[in-house]
Amino acid sequence: MNHATRTKPAFPEGFLWGGAVAANQLEGAYNEGGKGLSTQDVAPRGIMGPITEAPTADNMKLIGIDFYHRYKEDIKLFAEMGFKVFRTSIAWARIFPNGDELEPNEEGLQFYDNVFDECRKYGIEPLVTISHYETPLHLSKTYDGWVNRKLIDYYLRFAETVFKRYKDKVNYWLTFNEINSILEAPFLSGGIYTPKEQLRKQDLYQAVHHELVASAAAVKLCHELIPGAQIGCMILSMPAYPLTPHPDDVIAAMEFEHKNYFFGDVHARGRYPGYMKRYFRERGITIQMEPGDEDILKHTVDFISFSYYMSVCQTADPAKAQAGRGNIIGGVPNPFLAESDWGWQIDPQGLRVVLNAFYDRYQKPLFIVENGLGAVDELVAGDDGVPTVKDDYRIAYLRDHLLQVAEALEDGVEIMGFTSWGCIDLVSATSAQLKKRYGFIYVDRHDDGSGTLERYRKQSFYWYKDVIATNGASLSEQR
Ligand code: BG6
């Protein structure tokens, strides 16, 4: 497959190279340091799976990769790779164990002080997602999560607490991880306890409205409290190609994309788009707006961040349409693309498509905060006898995507940085497995709970180190 690259990679000075993780997928220590339970602690089978009454031992996230106790060792390895930026999230229930307390939990705040200080020691900028798929369980059970408007106040209390505490340590913030995923995963993305099958569209979109208002209010607050900081939204991007050139398929692809663009449009333009008002009108959905909501939404983000793993096709033909397959949203498979071990189609050029589309639409800087390959890795003896993983497949995946980032830069797209997802192996969000590995660093832990938790550098570790050291120039030798 020709991925059509024609430029010599030229990444701008100061490009933020790094890696990304989320608290719930690597920290573990689910009941230490005064932390309350979160929605993740009762979701042992991943984002779409069933939930349990209480945490169960088979939930890999309870221990994760024990980053809570090993963050120093891990950040040292990130520094060895030359990271300029490290994206992580703050576990809301470490700071407000139930979510609706008036006072934060000092031990939780101290933990992130330690993590950010450790990053700063190596000159690594933290990029912090305020909420990444883990609402305090109490807020979910008692209030039905974001369906309830009170969540705006609780979230803003959390945001204000962390802005004030870390204002001298964190310059880059994201409000909600993959905010559009709430449409598919209302429990883990929106803390909505009502089962998805029983959830009315009216309530789902009301929850969306509350998150959008909270996000814009957090942007305003961040600008007031930390002058000079930059805050962005975070969208799950999934470009949709029409399955055929038939105009009905083109419209199907457009309407699919509108459902995702909706979130970026509100964050970047500060108002609801017309196509969404139509969607609500045609389905009898009436969003309850409080006075002042429309003004709050006008506080737009400084940059747009997004995850990109795959593209999909869309069709108007019900016989060919398929339910989601792939990263949470999913769509109809593209006959021209290969797929990963987990059936996610691989489309490096889709990243160039998304970068151009977002930039044309918003004219704001973009930040690729997730991209990577989840694969089965095998630990083998390295040439020096030290165990390693010969993950040339991961190197090829990342190289092909980064070459498309270079193409987009050449197209004139403004890109702040690239943080590869799961820079150290961690627990998967959709499948809750550790077997699905993304890292440059192998962690010896397995889905049956066995393993020493030792860390090992994979071949991709050295490859990424070289990419960063040469600011992307080494990619040109690899085409
Ligand atoms: C994104 C999430 O959906 O994709 C991450 O923001 C997640 O939390 C990542 O881990 C990869 O998905 P998965 O299911 O392979 O872990």
- 216-226 pLDDT, tens per residue? 999 999 999 99
Is ligand 1 within 6 A of the CB of residue 436? yes
At 171-184, the pLDDT tens digits run 999 999 999 999 99
Is ligand 1 within 6 A of the CB of residue 39? no
Q: Whose CA is nearest to atom 16 of ligand 1?
A: 428
* CATH number 3.20.20.80 is the correct assignment for the domain at 16-477: yes
Q: What is the mean pLDDT of residues 130-141?
A: 98
Distance 86 CA to ligand 1 centre (A): 16
Distance 286 CA to ligand 1 centre (A): 32
Task: Report yes or no: 141 and 98 within 8 Å, Cβ to Cβ.
Answer: no
Q: How many CB atoms lie under 10 A from the CB of residue 247?
A: 10
Q: How many CB atoms lie under 10 A from the CB of residue 281?
A: 10
Distance 293 CA to ligand 1 centre (A): 31
What is the four-CA torsion angle of 102, 110, 164, 301, rounded to 10 degrees? Answer: -100
Per-domain boundaries in the chain: 16-477
At 34-83, the pLDDT tens digits run 999 999 999 999 988 899 999 999 999 999 999 999 999 999 999 999 99
Encoded tokens for 210: 């509350």
Q: What is the mean pLDDT of residues 352-372?
A: 98
Is ligand 1 within 6 A of the CB of residue 188? no
Distance CA 85, CA 16 (A): 6
Q: Whose CA is nearest to atom 7 of ligand 1?
A: 429
Is ligand 1 within 6 A of the CB of residue 328? yes
Task: Report yes or no: 203 and 147 within 8 Å, Cβ to Cβ.
Answer: yes
Q: Which of 325, 368, 430 to mutate to test the pocket of ligand 1 (most atoms within 8 A of CB)?
A: 430
Is ligand 1 within 6 A of the CB of residue 22? yes
Amino acid at 381: A
pLDDT exceeds 80 at position 191: yes
Task: Report yes or no: 114 and 157 within 8 Å, Cβ to Cβ.
Answer: no
Is ligand 1 within 6 A of the CB of residue 365? no
Phi, psi of 265 (to 5 degrees): -60, -45
| pLDDT score recorded for residue 321 | 79
Distance CA 454, CA 115 (A): 20
Task: Report yes or no: 74 and 455 within 8 Å, Cβ to Cβ.
Answer: yes
Is ligand 1 within 6 A of the CB of residue 178? yes
Beta bridge partners of 232: 174, 303
Distance CA 133, CA 456 (A): 28
Phi, psi of 258 (to 5 degrees): -55, -35
Helices (H), ranges, 23-149: 23-26, 67-81, 92-95, 106-121, 137-143
320, containing H or E segment: none
How many Cα neighbours within 13 Å face the side chain of 413?
27
Distance 256 CA to ligand 1 centre (A): 20
Q: Which of 60, 327, 367 to mutate to test the pocket of ligand 1 (most atoms within 8 A of CB)?
A: 327
Distance 343 CA to ligand 1 centre (A): 14
How many Cα neighbours within 13 Å face the side chain of 263?
30
Query: pTM for the whole thing?
Result: 0.97
Task: Report yes or no: 50 and 12 within 8 Å, Cβ to Cβ.
Answer: no
At 236-266, the pLDDT tens digits run 999 999 999 999 999 999 999 999 999 999 9
